[in-house]
Amino acid sequence: MTEPRMLGYIREMPEAVAATLRASAPGVEQLRVLATERRPSNVVFAGLGSSYTAAQIASPLLRQCLPWPTTITVATEVGIDRGIALGPDTLVILISRSGERGGIADALKAARRAGALCVAVTAVESSMLATECDQVVVTGEGPESAYPKTKSVIASAALLMALGIALDHDDARQTRLAQLIGDMPRLLGEGLADAEASFDRLPDSLTLHRSAFFTGTAGNQGVAQEGALKIQEAAAVTAEWDETGSAFYGTINILSPGWLLVPLITQDDLELNRNLLRVAGRFGAHRLCIAESTVSLKGECEAVIPVPASPEPLLAPLLYLPPVHLLTYRCAVGRGLNPDSPVFAQMMLKEMLPPGREEPDWA
């Protein structure tokens, strides 16, 4: 059997980040100059699916670095949620790998009606979104023909972080974060090798669940959301996600012996997660932790997938994406599914794409 393309794309994630940081640098600089000239009163980031989770992954850094009030939202809420300020002095950044989805087109129309300055973050410079925005910042991860996107997600998240760093008015912080994000491909490569080796040692019982629950804090909320989205999309696993602390107020009650809990654990939220693991164990759920390599969880869960310890919490969520996507891949293959082309893919694309438009790289 031919190895699914999804695994190859996951293995390309370190280079996808490096290539995107290189390819997007001119567009990021142009946007910095444009924003300096226009001086927006607020910034809105909007995307759909994994483009939205990429923005959520970058959101703590964006809110820390950007000197303007910043909103992260689902693209279909733009023009519907009246609490999202839109006007001639608003900068709207629309994220879409394909640049072709109907929901992102509707968000662009709503932003245009309000007179906002519109910027596309996309992999396809000739896409509908790119050709109709005021400026384009192109990612550099290359083609990705599997339906569930992986390297495109981390490329978009890294680009948004680079954009936030470039627009930071704190010079010392900007210099430090720019150096650290430049080292991220190396850390990703090390972490990916360790994660694959760890998955190879797992018993099949930990990747054959029909229900999964992902949790995380800060930027890892976006990774948890991405995990739930991806494992449903590619492996047909029923999934939920929640912020780790919020999980105690309802969501954890759905756990049972048929569930897999996947907490994304950092040093900052370690004690909170230890409480979560104890409760999940009492409910009979299996616990597969994705945790910083400096964290000790011996005897508190069934298995741990390590990620490198990052010197910067604002960038660390990038390191959690490869293990989450590898888990999705393992679950899909373990269930005898083709993760590259889920059975519903053509039907969903027909619903999401405007008439006459096509998904790049997809046949």
Q: Where are the alpha helices (DSSP H) in the chain?
A: 5-11, 13-38, 50-65, 102-113, 128-132, 151-166, 171-182, 184-200, 220-235, 270-283, 317-334, 345-352
The pLDDT tens digits of the residues spanning 174-223 come to 999 999 999 999 999 999 999 999 999 998 888 889 999 999 999 999 99
DSSP single-letter state for residue 56: H
Closest Cα partner for 261 from 334, 327, 313? 327
Fold of 186-334: Rossmann fold (3.40.50)
Round to whole Å and give the CA distance between 192 and 206. 19
Burial of 330 (0-12, 13-18, 19+ CB in 10 A): buried
Look up residue 72 and give its amino acid: I
Residue spans of the chain under pLDDT 70: 1, 342-359, 361-363
Closest Cα partner for 173 from 165, 162, 181? 165
Instruction: Give the pLDDT score at 294.
Output: 94
Round to whole Å and give the CA distance between 98 and 298. 43
Instruction: Give the pLDDT score at 126.
Output: 86
Instruction: Give the pLDDT score at 3.
Output: 87
How many Cα atoms occupy the beta-carbon half-sphere of 346 within 13 Å?
2
Query: Quick check: 150 and 16 in contact, CB under 8 A?
Result: no
Round to whole Å and give the CA distance between 307 and 322. 9
Q: Given CATH 3.20.20.70, say whether it is the number of domain 5-182.
A: no
The pLDDT tens digits of the residues spanning 305-340 come to 999 999 999 999 999 999 999 999 999 999 999 998
Could you tell me the residue ranges of all domains in the chain?
5-182, 186-334
Model confidence pTM above 0.85: yes
Contacts of 336 (CB under 8 A, 6+ apart): none
Round to whole Å and give the CA distance between 83 and 321. 31
Instruction: Give the pLDDT score at 2.
Output: 78
Structure tokens at 284: 């009979």
Asked whether this chain's domains 5-182 and 186-334 adopt the same fold, the reply is yes
Angle of helix 317-334 relative to helix 184-200, nearest 10 degrees?
A: 30
Query: Quick check: 157 and 97 in contact, CB under 8 A?
Result: no
Strand 259-265 relative to strand 238-243: parallel, antiparallel, unpaired? unpaired
Q: How far is CA 163 from the centre of its chain?
A: 16
Contacts of 28 (CB under 8 A, 6+ apart): 137, 159, 162, 163, 166
Instruction: Compute the Cα dihedral for 283, 286, 291, 297 and give only its sign.
Output: positive
Round to whole Å and give the CA distance between 321 and 15. 14
Instruction: Give the pLDDT score at 341.
Output: 82
Burial of 142 (0-12, 13-18, 19+ CB in 10 A): middle
Instruction: Give the pLDDT score at 102.
Output: 77
Round to whole Å and give the CA distance between 262 and 302. 11
